[in-house]
Chain A
């Protein structure tokens, strides 16, 4: 079919005919957005629509697949192809599409309940298979659409409608989980930092294979301020540990703090002046051994203090479905005839 031209990397930036002239407007559907006023989803949607033209992929080559939850509505607002699926199953739906249509750029939008609770199995398997899909995990640490129950990322002790005496289930750390699932690209960013968000999305799009991007997303109705430590002007510089490839990991208002490896092998936060620049751990997301990425993920279990953001891991591994058949490969009538007659046959006149 003429609409399918293989480029070998559905997710990577391309220059298609006329695509240079794409604008944010080309990615905005005619549907009215219906998230609550002040929802972090608006910021992410706007950033995605703004950044999409940069990829140079025309909207008809892009597919957004979503699960259930507030984030699930995302598909309706992009003027691309879209499928609003069922709770937790978007990675499975996307795997079926990605493994047979390598000409498409496929994005999955999901939430913490969708991806980590009901859809946990699909998420980890899409990551370990390295399916060429970009998964944007909107983490607001709460169930929003069902009006305020604890999610698998809700912090211990949190009072919610379903946990009047406080959350007692230990939360997931999505970045650590994705690393444990052998994801080849894992990043974390924040809804309110458009530049950082766009940079991370760009890197995810460049990545061949599965990318998981955790986006801290504020729910102003049921969990307002969950990420204040990383978003509020007065405190954010002290708490954002920005990971930059090849750079020593420093943070703080003046860059006065840093990350070092302690004698027991774990990572520790320290005053940089105490140990000197050379002692600080340098970030390298491309090492095959994911232990640094994992240790960084474990630096903060919930984002109430210093928390790493950026790209934790970006490595190459064979991409799922590459080289699989396409419709051009469906056999001819004569080959079918041969298959039907395979083995011992006999003829009755």
Chain B
């Protein structure tokens, strides 16, 4: 039968099921097919910290959201247009975020009395009329998958049970006209060593697709045309973790220095260890250290030897590394600390995102111990931030903290692959012995950076350490004026980095009186919220900070150019506090500390509350 095809500019799909239902897999496969199709996209996985929370319960619900469109996408979307609910708990957990008119595709086989009870339903929502505001499609996915798989030689009932996510993927792939070859190739590759499992998954996927095509249940197929407003280039889909590891490797290649990542397993930063541990062929060395402290120490030890020492962590791991970062400040050696921020305090919510380590990154060490802090704002931007962190660390002989977050690490988007030759060269400029001269380890260049003298270099033997150093000679010094001078030098060195920090770019409507300034992963939602407010006739200016310390040189001027300044952040007002203290500007905060990204709708609301619509809307 021929079905209607409707065009959509943008769609948000959320796959939700039990954490054992393979929703992350279905979501990432859908994402890859969407990327290859040429839609712009953004994704957000959302899963419980427990690897296997009790099956069928609300605590065990795992979800993956993808927002795809024919024009530029700024966020993974606030509310889903389509919810795939593999069980009653997935439906219940996600209902609060559904708006009327949304489509629900439910695996009706799993809406048994027992599963309904586990999810806390007194009656079956598929039957009791409570979902009349939605377009509900009930599909017996378990039954249909089992039927598709049971004929395959060597496939077990268990394989059939586990393939229903591929069935759901097939249905959605049909609904939105996603290319099937990308997914089929992936299945064949992934299960190359288990032909029966590969066959089972392929059969489930095809059954889902055919179900969409033939059944009368689904009456419309949607088309989201490929994005046309994106700059030319070659693209791939990356999440923040992949981009970060690529950025570090690129910096290693461009500096011709070996990269060493020392890390201790912690959610969500472990993903970076997994990524880089596979890159031995790039000379990347990885160490799974005995603890967070050792990981930082190993990175710094490698830096002493002329390598790029990197350590990565999240949450409480940052607390433990503070001592070593302080040593790196005193030693004035390059080092990169990646902090994939997660919700705290303490263990907090390990799989949930937050931006609450900003002040800790800048100030969280004893004594006066300044260091540069960089924060990427998009998954792809993690590449640039990682490269820049290494470049600054080497150029200024300083530890650098890179503040990513859980959202950036796991969220993905199309990324324009940079040309290798366009990446700047990084010159480690190691110290060389000069005949007849005594080597001075704390003499400084025009940027106040000290020499990086590698063990193994004849004539440059020297001793460094955490005790205060005498200016120039590097000998131990307790002299009062020397300590004051060294403190000022370390401060001035880091402050001087501002000379090469790009100025804040301001995207301002003419006559805008409100500036919205953010940092880190909320850039997409801030821009999306502002776009909506602008469509309603509100005038606003936007700026986003990527260098948190030192701040861009024009920050004060930008802040003072507007009557009101709004700082949205996923903490209790940390950037706001910085801006207030540095520039004496009465900034206002919009704070969200829920372990969830800020929504575009919230930004829209906050902008509208502070601006009067003029000249009507352009809608």
Interface string of B223-236 (1 = CB under 8 A from A): 00000001111111
Interface presence of B331 (CB below 8 A): yes
Interface string of A71-105 (1 = CB under 8 A from B): 01001101111111110010011111111110110
Interface presence of A345 (CB below 8 A): yes
Q: Which residue in chain B gives the minimum CB-CB distance to A118? A: B293
Interface string of B409-444 (1 = CB under 8 A from A): 000000001101100000000100000000000000
Please state if B231 and A344 are interface contacts (CB–CB under 8 Å): no
**Which of the 9-residue segments A289-297, A302-310, A326-334 touches chain B?**
A326-334
Distance, CA A101 to CA B305, complexed state (A): 7
Interface presence of B66 (CB below 8 A): no
Please state if B283 and A3 are interface contacts (CB–CB under 8 Å): no
Point out the residue from A59, A103, A326 that lies within 8 Å of B283, measured CB to CB.
A326
Give residues of chain A (301-349) contacting chain B, Cβ–Cβ below 8 Å. Answer: 321, 324-337, 339-349
Query: Chain A binding site: helix, strand, loop or mixed by DSSP?
Result: mixed
CB distance from B380 to the nearest CB of A (A): 12
Please state if B290 and A125 are interface contacts (CB–CB under 8 Å): yes
Q: Which residues of B contact A104 (CB under 8 A)?
A: 305, 455-456
Point out the residue from A4, A72, A96 that lies within 8 Å of B302, measured CB to CB.
A96
Distance, CA A78 to CA B465, complexed state (A): 14
Please state if B233 and A347 are interface contacts (CB–CB under 8 Å): yes
Please state if A340 and B455 are interface contacts (CB–CB under 8 Å): no
**Which of the 9-residue segments B97-105, B253-261, B488-496, B601-609 touches chain A?**
B253-261
Interface presence of A146 (CB below 8 A): no
Q: Which residues of B contact A343 (CB under 8 A)?
A: 236-237
Please state if B331 and A83 are interface contacts (CB–CB under 8 Å): yes
Distance, CA A341 to CA B250, complexed state (A): 13
Please state if A31 and B475 are interface contacts (CB–CB under 8 Å): yes
Point out the residue from B230, B295, B309, B461 that lies within 8 Å of A60, measured CB to CB.
B461
Interface presence of B619 (CB below 8 A): no
Distance, CA A332 to CA B256, complexed state (A): 9
Q: Which residues of B contact A92 (CB under 8 A)?
A: 289-290, 293-298, 301
Q: Which residues of A contact B403 (CB under 8 A)?
A: none
Distance, CA A233 to CA B327, complexed state (A): 44
Q: Which residues of B contact A29 (CB under 8 A)?
A: 463
Interface string of A25-57 (1 = CB under 8 A from B): 000010100000000000000000000000000
**A348-B253 contact given A95-B298, A325-B283, A341-B417, CB 8 Å threshold:** no
**Which of the 9-residue segments B9-17, B32-40, B342-350 touches chain A?**
B32-40
Interface presence of B246 (CB below 8 A): yes
Please state if A82 and B462 are interface contacts (CB–CB under 8 Å): yes
Interface presence of B280 (CB below 8 A): yes
Interface presence of B464 (CB below 8 A): yes
Please state if A337 and B420 are interface contacts (CB–CB under 8 Å): yes
Please state if A99 and B298 are interface contacts (CB–CB under 8 Å): yes
Please state if A331 and B283 are interface contacts (CB–CB under 8 Å): yes
Interface presence of B78 (CB below 8 A): no
Interface size class of A (residues with CB under 8 A): 35 or more
Q: Which residues of B contact A96 (CB under 8 A)?
A: 260, 262, 287, 297-305, 309
Please state if A339 and B258 are interface contacts (CB–CB under 8 Å): no
Please state if A348 and B233 are interface contacts (CB–CB under 8 Å): yes
Interface size on B, residues (CB 8 A): 76
Interface presence of B458 (CB below 8 A): yes
**A83-B463 contact given A60-B456, A99-B287, A104-B305, CB 8 Å threshold:** yes
Distance, CA A228 to CA B290, complexed state (A): 37
Please state if B304 and A97 are interface contacts (CB–CB under 8 Å): yes
Interface presence of A61 (CB below 8 A): yes
* CB within 8 Å: A-B pair count: 231
Please state if B459 and A60 are interface contacts (CB–CB under 8 Å): yes
Please state if B280 and A325 are interface contacts (CB–CB under 8 Å): yes
Please state if B36 and A344 are interface contacts (CB–CB under 8 Å): yes
**A325-B284 contact given A93-B298, A93-B301, A345-B234, CB 8 Å threshold:** yes
Please state if A327 and B457 are interface contacts (CB–CB under 8 Å): no
Interface string of B260-291 (1 = CB under 8 A from A): 10100000000000000001111111010111
Point out the residue from B38, B305, B457 that lies within 8 Å of A97, measured CB to CB.
B305
Q: Which residues of A contact B253 (CB under 8 A)?
A: 330-333, 335-336
Please state if A84 and B297 are interface contacts (CB–CB under 8 Å): no
**A60-B455 contact given A330-B256, A336-B249, A340-B246, CB 8 Å threshold:** yes
Q: Which residue in chain A gives the minimum CB-CB distance to B245? A: A339
Q: Which residue in chain A gives the minimum CB-CB distance to B326? A: A86
Point out the residue from B250, B258, B296, B331 that lies within 8 Å of A326, measured CB to CB.
B258
Distance, CA A163 to CA B271, complexed state (A): 46
Interface presence of A122 (CB below 8 A): yes
Please state if A81 and B462 are interface contacts (CB–CB under 8 Å): yes
Q: Which residues of A contact B234 (CB under 8 A)?
A: 341, 345-348
Interface presence of B57 (CB below 8 A): no
Please state if A95 and B282 are interface contacts (CB–CB under 8 Å): no
Interface presence of A186 (CB below 8 A): no
CB distance from B415 to the nearest CB of A (A): 9
Interface presence of A266 (CB below 8 A): no
Interface presence of A58 (CB below 8 A): yes
List 8 contacting pairs A-B, 8 Å CB cutoff, sorted by A.
Answer: A3-B456, A84-B464, A92-B294, A93-B300, A96-B287, A327-B258, A336-B420, A340-B420
Extra contacts besides A65-B301, A325-B282 (17): CB < 8 Å: A29-B463, A60-B457, A82-B462, A84-B465, A93-B298, A101-B306, A101-B456, A104-B456, A326-B258, A326-B283, A329-B283, A337-B420, A340-B418, A345-B234, A346-B236, A348-B231, A348-B235
Residues of A within 8 A of B (CB): 1, 3-4, 29, 31, 58-61, 63, 65-66, 68, 72, 75-76, 78-86, 89, 92-101, 103-104, 121-122, 125, 321, 324-337, 339-349
A-B CB proximity, top 8 nearest: A84-B465, A96-B301, A92-B297, A96-B298, A329-B283, A82-B463, A325-B283, A92-B294
